[in-house]
Amino acid sequence: MNAGINVVVCCAVITGACASTGGTPRPFPTPGAHARAAAPPDASKPAVSDYDLVGTALALRGVPYKNGGSDRNGFDCSGFTQYVFAQYGVALPRGVRDQFNTGKTVDRKAFEPGDLIFFTTTEPGASHVGIAVGSDEFVHAPSTTGVVRVERFTSSYWAPRLLGGRRVLSER
């Protein structure tokens, strides 16, 4: 009887060592088990939520405007959006017009937090960009005399200049 218990314990120790050696346990055989398994999600790309992205953008309120700026020492509008998205591994082009051609077009009535919102300000076409916060608010780096701040795109200044939006985050 003792010999039987020793055999069971030895078998348990030997087969249990498999998982601790770093081997990948295999599932029980199933029909079609020889089919290729789906690739796991790319762990090098962090999941991006609109909540996190908007939180990062809002945390930068008060950073001064700097023409050509793209870091915490100062931002211009497209440097600001590029910086915020880059924190989550999402690459945006540097220029406003190039950002306007990124992602999917979004109607102004369907803006969601994290969408890019574009305006015509200094010249025809997309010349200013910000990030939708929710409701009718967006966060942006507005001008040479300003700082990163939140405004309403329905205000008397921004509403007539609103060009449209782009959705870059693909989970929605």
Please, what are the domains in the chain? 50-167 (3.90.1720.10)
Return the pLDDT at 16: 36
pTM comes to 0.73
DSSP letter for each residue of 84-124: HHHTTT----SSHHHHHTSSEEE-GGG--TT-EEEE--SSS
- Report phi then psi at 14, rounded to 5: -65, -45
Tell me the average pLDDT across 105-114: 95
Residues tagged active-site: 77, 128, 140
Residue closest to 113 by CA, chosen among 142, 137, 90, 96: 137
**Number of C-beta neighbours around residue 111 at 10 A:** 23
CB 140 within 8 A of CB 155: no
Could you read off the pLDDT of 50-98 as tens digits, one per residue? Answer: 899 999 999 999 999 999 999 999 999 999 999 999 999 999 999 999 9
